[in-house]
Amino acid sequence: EFANGVKDVVDPEVRAYVSSLVTALGGSGADENGQYVLGDDALACLRDLKRWLKLYDEKANRLDVARCLAESNLVGGDLLQILAAWPENATDDKMKAKIALACLELLVPLTWPIEKNLAQMTVNHHRHIPYLEIAQLGYKRSIINFDGARILNTAVRCALPSMAQSPVDRSTRDEGIIKIVLYFFRNMALIAPPPNVKYDGDEADISRSATIDAFDYQDIFHLLLMMCSTMGEDFNTQDVVVMDILFHLVKGVDIEKLFMTETQLGNSQTDELVELRKKEAALLRGYQKSAPSRHNRFGAMAWISRENSKKTAISGQSAMTDATKGLAKMDSTKKFKPPRRAQKGYTGPMDFDAPVTLSPTATKHLRSFVEDFIDSGFNPLFSHIRKAIDREAERVLEIHSRQFFYLVGWFLEAERVRRKTKAVTRSKSPAASDIESFSLVAGVLNQEMFVTLNKAMDTAYENKVWNDLSASMRCFTQILLTVQEMSECPLEDDQDIAENILSRIFYEETTHDRVANITRTYKDQGFGYLDACTELCHNYLRILEQYSKQNVDLQVRSKRRVRRNKKAARAAGNDEPEDDVIDESENEDEAKAEQASRERKFDFKRFAARFLVQGCVDTFIAFTHFYNDLKPSQLKRAHRYFYRVAFKQEMSVMLFRVDIIALFYKMIKGPEGLDSSLPSFKEWNDLVKQLIKKCTRKMEERPELVVEMLFSKISSTAHFLEYGYDKQTVTSK
């Protein structure tokens, strides 16, 4: 307890020990021109501090020592000064190297991401974590912006002797050193202001851009490239940590923007501004249309007369001019809100849906790194990790498979965008002979990868781990798009390979089922998931349709049970009870045989009919509800789907529901409708118009639709309403 009655949050004895250690570490003296001077027993002090962290904080599951160290400014005041005092020309100094390593051994636990596991948190955690989270931001800022020396580069120098050895010669200690340095970079890349916390300092100092600039300036990208390209040869177990670093560097980065030239980026930013101003103007115009033209106490009153001489009074002049506005006004005065479930969006360091903007220099640096990585590190790193995931290596955690799929998807997209930009520049210069093959990314296009991906999607779907599923869906989408591009590539070898892969993807009916099921079962998993699953569905349908047109006799392997056979087998089975056991195993064999795959001809129309169920429609409707925030490509995706439902498959009845009509009407006619200057506006206008026309005609044709307009329809009802007769179903007798 202090003199003023404030109670200290940390045991005073602990505080005393720790701060005396910090003091003994060293300091800057006036007689040395303010230079930092190491204490006599600095190394021992550093080791003691490490011991405190380990034996007090970790063992007792408290955060007291970390809190004390944060309050005493150990990182900025001492550790960084000590690291800076190890100049590059003194790399051979054994003592200094040892001390530098000891500093790193403290920095890594101090910057380690704090897990908030509600079940295991104690009072102490709740007390210290908010403070420590802010402190970590300060650590990151002082480390990557340190003026005196390149701290990250110094860290690399600590590990260089260990890295230089061949993996067989490395001791456990060497492996540990390499790991510590890598984790240090991981922490630097990961630390970001936690959600819902306002950071006092300048966010630009710790932003992603600052991190990327620092990694470039301090040659960390070189180290990462070197490690990735020799993964499996010079490095083995470090793969997941390296991937962790990559993940935190590129998550949420917009690839299109990354590959724009600076002028393009400038243009696009101006365009963006113009677009935004236009959007704002349209918004204001929308309001002004219904805004009162007189002062707010003008007091106009109107009524809507309804049946049985019933009247509803509404106030305000806007209501008098227009019946729809009057009804909208009537609706807006209602207060009742039905109970609603909150959306399950995820925020935190593992979130990859939050978009990130990069500064021009950071964009340049990251782009060159990404290009180098695809050229040299993509195949070795990702093949190596895929193998580790497959054999469930001990170092692979759950989080790593999510990162793996996200990164594979991300880099595949980056490669596609890069090819596109290259193609543009190549068409200008006539040297068209240097068409590159897709071998740079071939490491993730083999059969093993599909097995892993399919398995991951299945388990994520079954265990309801939506973020994992979202990542693997993105990966799958990018693989599809890459393979499709490959099949259009002028190189014949690539065409053959692509053909092969596509046939393998579309050959398995389980994949068809999976995509349909995922699309069907969306339910408040957040926008990122919704985006991923609609994107997959759109591209899967599109590419499969194209493929099945080219290969008319496509066969699929399906796993259909034939109940009939089973029954017959049972009927033929022996009735005597002692034969039961044998009978059972026979039945099992039978079942397995039934499970066994049988091939049948693929019929795209029938396949696409699976996407006409209400669940899929609802998913796309949920997606379309965000129409004002969707990018042109996303709007197009939704448009194509509804077009397919209504006109290609002729099941527009699935869209005849009052809330859907209301949404479409609002999109076109407002208020807050789709911006009419958008290029896609016309497409939507046509679609909605046609739909409404069909809908009104249908309602006249079949009056019973008046009721069904309120409800979700099962496919047999929908079929009857659409065609006027029941679906012919083949029944086996």
Contacting residue, 334, 428, 592, 733, with other proteins by CB under 8 A: 334
**Radius of gyration (C-alpha) of the chain in whole angstroms:** 32
Over the window 648 to 677, marking each residue x when it contacts other proteins by CB under 8 A and - when it does not, the resulting string is: ---------xxx-xx-xx--xx--------
Candidates 88-96, 247-255, 470-478, 703-711: pick the segment binding other proteins (CB under 8 A): 703-711
Q: Which one, 679 or 724, has the nearer CB to other proteins?
A: 724
| Cα distance from N-terminal residue to C-terminal residue, the chain | 87
Contact 74, 22 (CB under 8 A): yes
CB 618 to other proteins: min, Å: 10
CB 342 to other proteins: min, Å: 16
Q: Which residues on adjacent β-strands are paired with residue 558?
A: 598
Candidates 59-67, 329-337, 428-436, 509-517: pick the segment binding other proteins (CB under 8 A): 329-337
CA–CA–CA angle 667, 672, 677 (5° rounding): 70
CB 665 to other proteins: min, Å: 5
Q: Does 729 bind other proteins (CB under 8 A)?
A: no
Q: Which one, 557 or 702, has the nearer CB to other proteins?
A: 702
d(CA 456, CA 442) in angstroms, rounded, equals 20
CB 66 to other proteins: min, Å: 49
Q: Which one, 577 or 703, has the nearer CB to other proteins?
A: 703
Q: Which one, 491 or 622, has the nearer CB to other proteins?
A: 622
Contact 549, 642 (CB under 8 A): no
Q: Which one, 282 or 668, has the nearer CB to other proteins?
A: 668
CB 647 to other proteins: min, Å: 16
Closest by Cα among 577, 536, 208, 135 to 361: 208
Contacting residue, 287, 298, 303, 711, with other proteins by CB under 8 A: 711
Closest by Cα among 641, 636, 640, 639 to 612: 641
Candidates 18-26, 245-253, 331-339, 604-612: pick the segment binding other proteins (CB under 8 A): 331-339
Amino acid residing at 699: M
DSSP state letters, 382-425: HHHHHHHHHTT-TT--HHHHHHHHHHHHHHHHHHHHHHHHHHHH
Contacting residue, 43, 114, 302, 327, with other proteins by CB under 8 A: 327
Q: Does 708 bind other proteins (CB under 8 A)?
A: yes
Q: Does 336 bind other proteins (CB under 8 A)?
A: yes
Q: Which one, 295 or 337, has the nearer CB to other proteins?
A: 337
CB 343 to other proteins: min, Å: 15
DSSP 2: -
Candidates 146-154, 213-221, 644-652, 705-713: pick the segment binding other proteins (CB under 8 A): 705-713
Candidates 149-157, 414-422, 427-435, 687-695: pick the segment binding other proteins (CB under 8 A): 687-695
Q: Which residues, 181 to 220, sit near other proteins by CB under 8 A?
A: none
CB 707 to other proteins: min, Å: 5
Contacting residue, 5, 706, 728, 729, with other proteins by CB under 8 A: 706
Q: Which residues, 247 to 306, sit near other proteins by CB under 8 A?
A: 306
Contacting residue, 335, 391, 428, 601, with other proteins by CB under 8 A: 335
Q: Does 699 bind other proteins (CB under 8 A)?
A: yes
Tokens 């991190």 label which residue?
211
For the four alpha carbons of 82, 85, 89 and 90, in that order, the dihedral sign comes to negative
Q: Which one, 60 or 662, has the nearer CB to other proteins?
A: 662
Q: Which one, 118 or 706, has the nearer CB to other proteins?
A: 706
Q: Which residues, 337 to 396, sit near other proteins by CB under 8 A?
A: 337-338
Candidates 22-30, 239-247, 526-534, 707-715: pick the segment binding other proteins (CB under 8 A): 707-715
Tokens read off for 570: 């049972």
CB 610 to other proteins: min, Å: 21
Contacting residue, 283, 302, 330, 562, with other proteins by CB under 8 A: 330
How far is CA 238 from each of CA 135, 205, 277, 600, rounded to the nearest angstrom? 28, 29, 48, 46
Residue 660: alpha-carbon gap to chain centroid: 28
Tokens read off for 202: 């300048």
Q: Which residues on adjacent β-strands are paired with residue 330?
A: none
Contacting residue, 270, 324, 555, 677, with other proteins by CB under 8 A: 324
CA–CA–CA angle 207, 72, 6 (5° rounding): 110
Tokens read off for 543: 């590419």
Interacting residues of 208 by C-beta distance below 8 A, sequence separation 6+: 192, 249, 253, 356, 358, 362
Contacting residue, 20, 23, 676, 696, with other proteins by CB under 8 A: 696
Q: Does 715 bind other proteins (CB under 8 A)?
A: no
d(CA 331, CA 354) in angstroms, rounded, equals 34
Tokens read off for 619: 């998913």
Contacting residue, 3, 168, 572, 707, with other proteins by CB under 8 A: 707
Contact 107, 79 (CB under 8 A): yes
Q: Is 599 helix (H, G, I), strand (E, B) or coil?
A: strand
Q: Does 717 bind other proteins (CB under 8 A)?
A: yes
CB-CB neighbours of 363 under 10 Å: 22
Contacting residue, 49, 250, 651, 721, with other proteins by CB under 8 A: 721
Contacting residue, 164, 323, 423, 432, with other proteins by CB under 8 A: 323
Number of amino acids touching other proteins (CB under 8 A): 46
d(CA 497, CA 483) in angstroms, rounded, equals 9
Contact 382, 408 (CB under 8 A): yes
Q: Which one, 204 or 323, has the nearer CB to other proteins?
A: 323
Q: Is 230 helix (H, G, I), strand (E, B) or coil?
A: coil
Q: Which one, 192 or 688, has the nearer CB to other proteins?
A: 688
d(CA 544, CA 551) in angstroms, rounded, equals 10
Contacting residue, 23, 344, 704, 727, with other proteins by CB under 8 A: 704
DSSP state letters, 508-547: BHHHHHHHHHHHHT--S--HHHHHHHHHHHHHHHHHHHHH
Q: Does 504 bind other proteins (CB under 8 A)?
A: no
d(CA 47, CA 104) in angstroms, rounded, equals 11
Q: Does 622 bind other proteins (CB under 8 A)?
A: no
Q: Which residues on adjacent β-strands are paired with residue 383?
A: none
Q: What size, in residues, is the chain?
A: 733
Q: Which one, 263 or 333, has the nearer CB to other proteins?
A: 333
Candidates 31-39, 250-258, 480-488, 690-698: pick the segment binding other proteins (CB under 8 A): 690-698
How far is CA 536 from each of CA 298, 611, 645, rounded to the nearest angstrom? 54, 13, 17
Closest by Cα among 236, 223, 250 to 362: 250
Candidates 59-67, 247-255, 325-333, 390-398: pick the segment binding other proteins (CB under 8 A): 325-333
Contacting residue, 725, 727, 729, 732, with other proteins by CB under 8 A: 725
Q: Does 700 bind other proteins (CB under 8 A)?
A: yes
Q: Does 331 bind other proteins (CB under 8 A)?
A: yes
Tokens 């045991």 label which residue?
11
Interacting residues of 526 by C-beta distance below 8 A, sequence separation 6+: 343, 344, 345, 346, 353, 466
Residues that bind other proteins (CB under 8 A): 306, 312, 323-324, 327, 330-332, 334-338, 657-659, 661-662, 664-665, 668-669, 688-689, 692-693, 695-697, 699-700, 702-704, 706-712, 717, 720-721, 725-726
